[in-house]
Amino acid sequence: MGKDVPPDLLPGTLDLLILKTLLRGPMHGYGIAQHLKTVSEDVLQVGESSLYPALQRLLLSGCVKGEWGASENNRRARFYTLTAAGRKRLSAEREEFDRLILAIHKVLATS
Amino acid sequence: MRALFRRISYWFRARREAAALREEIEFHRSMTQAQMERDGFTPDEARFAARRQMGNVAIASEDASAVWIWPWLQSVRQDAAYALRSLWRQPGFTLVSLSVLGIAIGLNTGLFTVVAGAAFRPMSGLTDPSRVVTVSSVNVLGRGGLLGLSFPEYQSLTSAATSFEGLAAARPLSVRLEEGPVGRSISAYLVTANYFDVLGVRMELGRGFQPGEDRRGSAQAVAVLAYQVWKSRYGADPTIVGRQIRVNNIPFTVVGIASRQFVGPEGSPNRIWLPISMLPLLRPNDPFATTMLDRPQDCCVTVTGRLTPAATRDSARAEVQVLSTRFRSSVGMTEHSLAIGGTQFLSGRRGGGEALAILGVLSLGLTLVLLIACANVGNLLLARAAARVNEIGVRLSLGAGRARIVRQLLTEGFVLAIGASVVGLFLSMWLPPLVLSVVAGTARPFDISLDGWVLVYALAVAVLSCLAFALAPALHATKCDIATALKHDAAMLQSRFPLRSTLLAVQVAVSVVLLTSAALLLRGVAQARLLDPGFAMDGVAVATIDVPEESYDVARRRAFVTETTTELKRAGIVRFGFASNEPLGNETSMTGMRLQGESPAQARTVEFINVSPGYFDALSIPIVAGRDFIDADEGRSVVIVNQTMARRYWPGDTAVGQVFFGGGNRQLMQIVGVVADAHVASMEEIEPVLFLPPGDMSQRVPRLLFSTDEPSTSATIAAIVERVDGRARVDVTPLRDRFENWLGDLRLAPLVASAIGVFALGVAVVGMLGVFSYIVRQRTREIGIRMALGAGAGDVLRLVLASSSRAVLAGLAVGGLGGFAASQVLRSSLYGLSPLDPIAYGGVLLLLALAACLASYIPARRALRIDPVRALRYE
């Protein structure tokens, strides 16, 4: 069990998914993973070994910032919030992603 | 850029961040577990499953934090840790390298603090020192030295110049500060009232001078004391402000204490500041002092200014040049060119250029020492690298890049260099103040504390020396091909190793150069002791007579000398004489002279001394022709010359009776006597000297020289002088003491040179030791085989020594040539010693031979103890 995000997922896609998820509001790592799993109907099962490096990468590039708070079951957890830079990056990457998907689609549709 | 900043700040918080990450992942795990329990697993199953799903928390968090740290940075840390460990494992090697490099770097950094302090750092205790400048005139005669300006010229500049917020003038003057009945001499600076404001000197207590307090006829005479004077003479008594002190018998009111950092341009802590208008009052009988503030011809005051923010040094120079030319033409003087300089100790100072040159030569010497140290440590590293050929070979064969291994070896060198520069910094904190206190006493003419620049310099030296000593061995060690290294046939590698021999030769050569210089200088001092000064040194003493200067004018001085002479003769003392300059006092007065028939343009300057009748007798200087002065010569234009002068201008014993133009080329003078050559001024080469009758004996009471045949003479003379004037004080010094003092000063240079030379030799010995041990280690198998085949102890020793004898001999030869070249430069300090002095060269040769024996003894002993059987199995 616990299938990771497929390794052949397009690079940078996980970052995009995390940023999009955080658009809903501050969330901790587990919450993000759960959200991705639920919304994708169990297709995207993100493991910690890719989730947390991705989160650290986003922290480093300043797209998200982390703050400690209490989780729903009253435990200490780090909540990630989207920053202005993160929003900008999300919209830029979203466009880029859409273009890519469209391109792939066109290739597949052409016989 | 911001990402870089975040990375760095992460680096500092690494531990906390890692903990946070672990906590976060642990939280994630427990949430997963809870979820599974909700999904119907048993708690145990859930925990197990959650953990399995998670994998290793540690690996996950490491992966995550790896985002932050450059892999590069981490590998550097790894290298450094590895280097530290390997240095720790070889404490002998580490200790030797650290001390050798540390001392070398310390000496260099120490010299740098002195150069930085003397040449680059502005005067201490100033506010915003970069805008404080000196204005001086370029002295055309004095080889580009700088002079001050006349006071009227200063006044014309200060009223018109717009480049400065203020211009201040200062003139040093030696005064007497009365404390009860006795007065002590102290150096005063006579300054304009704005002096402290222009320089931006903070007051420790009270205030500086106020406008108008430097006006002549100002109601109140005020004074500012230096911090040290306040502390040492008045016990830091805060009530001193407002009290009166007496300077040259004039009451001054103390208004302030200058800040502790400010010690003025000479750095003498023993100083007071007085308004410049007080100059005529402090020296009422000095015609120069009474008029200099009004005469544009008189020299001079030191002018210091604070530039306005808008002005640059160039624009200020252009402005003062115009103003100066205008002023000088208005008083009928030719223009001179002005210069603007900083307040650095050496800037514009007479002899500043030479001082810099000396510092340059010194730093060259110390660079040589650093070179030796680097060569030596490089040699040791080379030996180590050879011992690690195996390890390096394995690593190369496992696919490590050569660059990676070179970097790792360099890191080891760098760690060593950093450690050495820490040692060096401690040394340079402690050494220059010590040297300076030996050379300059209590004065601190410039700041020699460590600052950022010194740290940067030390670091730069460390990095460069690291490259110098570690790069070559690192490249060399990794050059070997893998197969050879793995076969452990290190002898193959050793057979062609010119680098090592070159390093050895360099250090032998450098220490020979330094040691021969030191030996020659030492021999020069010994030679100087044997010098014949040309006058009797034993049984002659010089009396310095101190009288209250403000009450002594020319007439009074002459009367004092006449009266003292009469009294001495009445007391039965006959062998004595007065002279304007004492022997070995290193003071010379110069006057112009030309021969009859020469035009004024052909005039030359010669040394002169005013002497009274009896001077030559007291010093036992023989009169070789003519006669001594007699009392009746006073006021007549007669002279006595020394033999050098007689020979140069009137060859063939014809000098007596000749006339020439002396006394500034105007006066016809007749020679009445010729005396034997003597070092009456200094021990330097003897120049032509004119002896003149007493005349007005310059600006002070002349020195009294007398023969101390009777032990009681000194006391008698002191008593007689004090009877003539109760305020006079006599200080008697035997001439022998003066000579010894001079020798003592002379000894400083060879002592420093020997210290450096001995240090260099020590380094070279350690270097040779390294090389010989290396050879023994490399050729263990060969030695074993030879011994098994019947080689004796002598053969083995010869083997060890012979392997680098060529390098040592080459070093000796090159060093000998270098030493000879250095001796040509040192010629003037050798006092007649031949630059090829056999004792100096022989001594150095012997010393090096001994050193080489010592350096080969320890490894050779090891070689002799090699057990043939074990050596053959050494593989």
Sheet strand arrangement including A64-70 = A27-28, A76-82, A64-70
A10 Rama class: left (phi>0) / alpha (psi -120 to 50) / beta: beta
Alpha helices in B607-712 (DSSP H): 615-618, 643-649
Residue B708's Cβ-side half-sphere holds a number of Cα atoms within 13 Å equal to 22
Nearest to A61 among B3, B20, B28 (CB): B3
Q: Comparing C-alpha atoms, which of B30, B15, B13 is closest to residue B61?
A: B15
Chain A residues with CB under 8 Å of B34 CB are 73
Residues of B in contact with A76 (CB under 8 A): 23, 27
Q: Residues, chain A, total?
A: 111
Whole-Å CA distances, B117 to B267, B306, B435, B446? 12, 21, 14, 6
For A67, the enclosing helix (H) or strand (E) is: strand A64-70
Element (H, E) at B539: none
Contact A84/B at CB under 8 A: no
- Which pLDDT does position B674 carry in this prediction? 93
3-state secondary structure of B416: helix
Q: For residue B310, what are the CA distances in angstroms to B130, B131, B195, B196, B339?
A: 13, 11, 21, 22, 19
Could you write out the three-class secondary structure of B447-459? CCCCCHHHHHHHH
Chain B residue closest in CA terms to A77 = B24
What does the block give as tokens for B585? 């006092």
The first and second tokens of residue B693, run together, are: 């009758």
Q: Are strands B689-692 and B667-675 parallel, antiparallel or unpaired?
A: unpaired
Would the pLDDT of B59 be above 80? no
* B449-502 pLDDT tens trace: 777 788 888 888 888 877 777 777 777 777 655 555 444 444 444 444 566 677
- Cα separations (Å) of B847 from A72, B377, B764, B839, B841? 84, 22, 12, 12, 10
State the Cα–Cα distance between residues B141 and B299, nearest whole angstrom: 14
**Pairing between strand B203-206 and B222-225?**
unpaired
Helix/strand/coil for B216: coil
C-alpha span between B874 and B347 (Å, rounded): 66
Asked whether the beta carbons of A64 and A82 are under 8 A apart, the reply is yes
The pLDDT of residue B491: 44
Asked if the Cβ–Cβ distance from A78 to B20 is below 8 Å, we say yes
Which residues of chain B are within 8 Å of residue A52 when distances are taken between CB atoms? 21, 24-25, 60-61, 63-64
Can you tell me the distance from the alpha carbon of A44 to that of B826, in angstroms, rounded to the nearest whole number?
Answer: 86
Contact A52 B66 (CB under 8 A): no
pLDDT at B497: 53
Angle at B800 between CA B796 and CA B802, to 5 degrees: 110
Higher pLDDT, B66 or B707: B707
Decide if A89 touches B, using CB distance below 8 A: no
Q: Three-state SS for B137?
A: strand
Give every CB contact of residue B566 below 8 A, 6+ residues apart in sequence: none
pLDDT at B682: 73
Closest chain B CA to residue A73: B31
Task: Answer whether B139's CB lies under 8 Å from B311's CB.
Answer: no
The mean per-residue pLDDT over the stretch B701-710 comes to 80
Query: What's the confidence (pLDDT) of residue B495?
Result: 44
**In this predicted structure, what is the pLDDT of residue A11?**
62
- Reduced to 3 states, what is the DSSP secondary structure of residue B483? helix
Is any Cβ of chain A less than 8 angstroms from the Cβ of B31? yes
Measured distance CA(B292)–CA(B313) in Å, rounded: 28
The DSSP H or E segment spanning B441 is: none
- At residue B343, the pLDDT reads 76
Q: Do A71 and B55 touch (CB under 8 A)?
A: no
Q: Name the 3-class secondary structure at B320.
A: helix
User: Inter-chain contact A56–B2, Cβ cutoff 8 Å?
Assistant: no
Measured between CA atoms, the residue of chain A closest to residue B17 is A56
Q: Is B24 within 8 Å of A62 when comparing Cβ atoms?
A: no
Residues of B within 8 A of A77 (CB-CB) are 24, 27
Q: How many of the other CB atoms lie within 10 Å of CB of B696?
A: 12
Contact A1 B21 (CB under 8 A): no
Nearest chain B Cα distance for residue A1, angstroms: 7
B718/B532 Cα distance (integer angstroms)? 29
Nearest to B63 among A34, A49, A59 (CB): A49
Of A2, A56, A75, the CB nearest to B27: A75
Measure the N-to-C terminal CA separation of chain B; round to a whole number of Å: 55
Q: Which of B24, B61, B67 sits opposite A78 (nearest CB)?
A: B24
Establish how many alpha carbons lie within 13 A of residue B124's alpha carbon, considering only the half-sphere containing its beta carbon: 18
**What average pLDDT does this structure show over B129-138?**
85
Q: Contact, A19 vs A89, CB < 8 A?
A: yes
Rounded Cα distance between B137 and B149, Å, is 6
User: Is B419 strand, coil or helix?
Assistant: helix
Cα separation, B774 vs B143, in Å, equals 56
Chain A positions touching B68 (Cβ under 8 A) are 56, 60
Q: Within 13 Å of residue B649, how many CA atoms lie on the same side as its CB?
A: 26
pLDDT digits (tens, 9 = 90+) for B371-389: 777 877 777 777 677 667 7
More confident residue, B243 or B341: B243
Summarised one tens digit per residue, pLDDT across range B155-203 is: 998 888 888 999 999 988 888 887 665 567 788 889 999 999 998 888 8
User: What's this model's pTM, rounded to 2 decimal places?
Assistant: 0.56
For B492-523, how does the pLDDT look when each residue is reduced to its tens digit (9 = 90+)? Answer: 444 445 666 777 788 788 888 888 888 888 88
The stretch B278-287 carries a mean pLDDT of: 80
Query: What mean pLDDT is predicted for residues B521-526?
Result: 83
More confident residue, B875 or B551: B551
Per cent of chain B over pLDDT 70 is 86
pLDDT over 70 at B349, yes or no: no
Model confidence band, residue B824 (pLDDT cutoffs 50, 70, 90): confident
Nearest chain B residue to A62 by CA: give it.
B3
Q: What is the mean pLDDT of residues B52-77?
A: 66
Residue from the list A1, A30, A49 with its beta carbon closest to the beta carbon of B27: A30
Q: Does B26 contact A at CB distance below 8 Å? A: no
- Say yes or no: A75 contacts chain B, CB-CB below 8 A: yes
Residues of chain B positioned with their CB less than 8 A from the CB of A36: none
What is the spatial distance between Cα B163 and Cα B853, in angstroms, rounded to a whole number? 69
Partners of A67 in beta bridges: A79
8 Å CB contact between B689 and B643? no
HSE on the CB side for B735, CA within 13 Å?
Answer: 26
What residue ranges of chain A have pLDDT lower than 50?
1-8
Measured in whole angstroms, how far is the alpha carbon of residue A92 from the centre of its chain? 15
- What pLDDT, on a 0 to 100 scale, did the predictor assign at position B680? 82
Residue B807: C-alpha distances to residues B100, B386, B474, B813, B863 (Å): 21, 19, 22, 10, 21
Tell me how far apart the alpha carbons of residues B638 and B672 are, in angstroms, rounded to a whole number.
6
Point out the least confidently predicted range of B230-234, B327-331, B669-673.
Answer: B230-234
Q: B581-638 pLDDT, tens per residue?
A: 888 776 777 777 888 888 777 778 788 888 888 889 888 899 998 899 888 887 788 8
- Lowest mean pLDDT, pick from B229-238, B350-359, B579-588: B350-359
Euclidean distance between CA atoms B491 and B499, whole angstroms? 15
Query: Residue B688's CB: how many other CB atoms inside 10 A?
Result: 19
Tokens of B71: 């892999």
Cβ-in-10-Å burial (0-12, 13-18, 19+) of B655 comes to buried
Tell me the three state secondary structure of residue B147: strand
In the structure encoding, which two tokens stand for residue B610, read together?
Answer: 């005013």
- Long-range pairs of B115-119 with CB within 8 A, sequence gap ≥ 24: B115/B359, B115/B363, B116/B451, B116/B453, B116/B454, B116/B457, B117/B345, B117/B446, B117/B447, B117/B448, B117/B449, B118/B344, B118/B345, B118/B346, B118/B355, B118/B359, B118/B445, B118/B446, B119/B344, B119/B345, B119/B346, B119/B347, B119/B356, B119/B359
Q: How high is the ipTM of this complex?
A: 0.81
Please compute the mean of the pLDDT values over residues B25-51 and round it to a whole number.
82
Q: How much is the mean pLDDT over chain B?
A: 79
Rounded CA Rg of chain B: 38
Whether the CB of B744 is below 8 Å from some CB of chain A: the reply is no
B30 touches chain A (CB under 8 A): yes
Nearest CB to B67 within list A34, A60, A76: A60
Q: Cα(B661)–Cα(B690) distance, rounded to whole angstroms?
A: 12
Interface touch A52/B30, C-beta < 8 Å: no
B254-293 burial code (b ≥16 CB/10 A, e <16): bbbbbbbebbbbbbbbbbbbbbbbbbebbbeebeebeebb
Rounded-to-10 torsion of CA B825, B829, B831, B834: -30
